Amino acid sequence: MAKPKLIIGSDRLELYEFFARKKEVINGFNKNWLKVAFVATLLHAVVVQVPTWFSKYFGDEVSPL
């Protein structure tokens, strides 16, 4: 499909609305991935780091086997 050389009237406004919706969807998608990354980081801290800290500070050192 050929790109139009000139967009006038309501077509231009519809194009601007399309671009705004597209940007809004992409921003929402990025925010959701940021939330997933943050939760994964917290989950890693709880599952891996906290038990390691407990073993280090309470004397039962965990060997890296």
**Per-residue pLDDT, 32:** 93
Q: How many Cβ atoms from other residues are within 10 Å of residue 55's Cβ?
A: 13
Nearest Cα to Cα of residue 22 among 11, 32, 30, 34? 30
* Amino acid at the residue 53: W
pLDDT, residue 14, reads 83
Read off the pLDDT of each residue in 3-9 and give the average, rounded to a whole number. 64
pLDDT in tens, 14-65: 888 888 999 999 999 999 999 999 999 999 988 888 777 777 777 766 556 5
- The residue extents of the domains of the chain are 29-55
For residues 65 and 51, give the distance between their C-alpha atoms in angstroms, rounded to a whole number: 15
Question: What is the pLDDT, as a whole number, of residue 48?
Answer: 83
CA distance from start to end of the chain = 61
Predicted TM-score (pTM) of this structure: 0.54
Per-residue pLDDT at 3 exceeds 60: yes
